[in-house]
Structure 1
Amino acid sequence: MTWRIQLRKETPELPASQYSSARIRATWDGTGSVADASKALGFSRAKGYALVRRGEFPCRVLRIGRSTRVVTAPLLRVLDSGEPEYNGARAGHCAPS
């Protein structure tokens, strides 16, 4: 048990480069978690899920049963361009009801 506690304390958070476009392109499949996509976009997991609930996440989100996944290709476009592209997140567009 001591080993686990020590391991947790020594395990650092993933570096920002872990969420770069190149790294995501190389390591993610067709979808990623909302938590990881949120970190890649620069906000918290809680904020990411709040945006998903409001239909304002800046790229395409799939809801499969109880699971919510972020589509990788639109996420990469958002990271590369800096502009949101889906779910009503564009400026001047209303979120779908």
Structure 2
Amino acid sequence: MHHHDNPPQSVPSSPAYIRATWGGTGSVEEASAAFGFSRAKGYDLVRRGEFPCRVLRIGRSTRVVTASLLRVLDSGEPEYSGTRDAHTAPA
């Protein structure tokens, strides 16, 4: 007999898991998984200024803003970080 007293564990890329375990930022790899694409695709989107949520470049590190990630997952509307880069032009 199986008891289902414990709530189901959240998937590591689910909004519930992200809210419970991330601080103010997360890795590009983790955020990419939440969007359903690979780490390589995530970093490619970051380089092009097209990652679906806001990213911060801190020295050589790139971090994803947790609140932005959750808003995008909830709404489906991207929040691009590249808007402050004046040299970013459409390809």
TM-score of the aligned structures, taking structure 1 as reference length: 0.73
Q: Give 2:27's aligned amino acid.
A: S
Kept in 2, the 8 Å contact 1:88–1:96? The answer is no
More helix by share: 1
Match of 2:45 in 1: 51
C-alpha distance in 1 between matches for 2:29 and 2:67: 16
Partners of 1:34 and 1:68 within 8 A in 2:
yes
* Correspondences of 1:1-97 after superposition (within 5 Å): 17-87=11-81, 97=88
Distance between the aligned counterparts of 1:82 and 1:32, measured in 2? 19
Aligned length: 77
In structure 1, C-alpha distance between the alignment counterparts of 2:82 and 2:66, rounded to whole Å = 18
Identity %: 78
Distance in 1 (alpha carbons) for counterparts of 2:48 and 2:25: 20
- For structure 1, the 5+ residue unaligned runs are 1-15, 90-94
Structure 2: unaligned runs, 5 residues or longer: 1-9
Cα distance in structure 2, aligned partners of 1:75 and 1:83 = 10
Q: How much is the aligned-residue C-alpha RMSD, in angstroms?
A: 2.0
